[in-house]
Amino acid sequence: MKVMELVGKFFMDSKRIFRVSRKPSKEEYKRMALIIGIGIIVIGIIGFVIQLIFTLSGLGA
């Protein structure tokens, strides 16, 4: 495909996505922030536990 065809297809697909999409409500923003925050905390706890295991077992540096 030519570059111009690819660019044109990209813009047509983008226009279709913008037509279908909508702005999330305030409640959806709050729910997303809560879920993301919980995910960050869980990943941090998992990392801390792994570090603790390696430190206590003598395998860590």
What confidence score (pLDDT) does residue 1 get? 64
pLDDT in tens, 3-26: 888 888 888 889 888 888 889 999
Q: Does 35 score more than 90 pLDDT? A: yes
Q: Is residue 48 part of a domain?
A: yes
Total domains present in the chain: 1
Comparing CA positions, the residue from 45, 43, 46, 47 lying closest to residue 35 is 43
Q: Is residue 20 part of a domain?
A: no
Q: Is residue 58 part of a domain?
A: yes
With 0-12 CB in 10 A as exposed, 13-18 as middle and 19+ as buried, what is 36? exposed
What confidence score (pLDDT) does residue 27 get? 97
Q: Is residue 18 part of a domain?
A: no
Enclosing domain of residue 49: 25-61
pTM of structure:
0.63
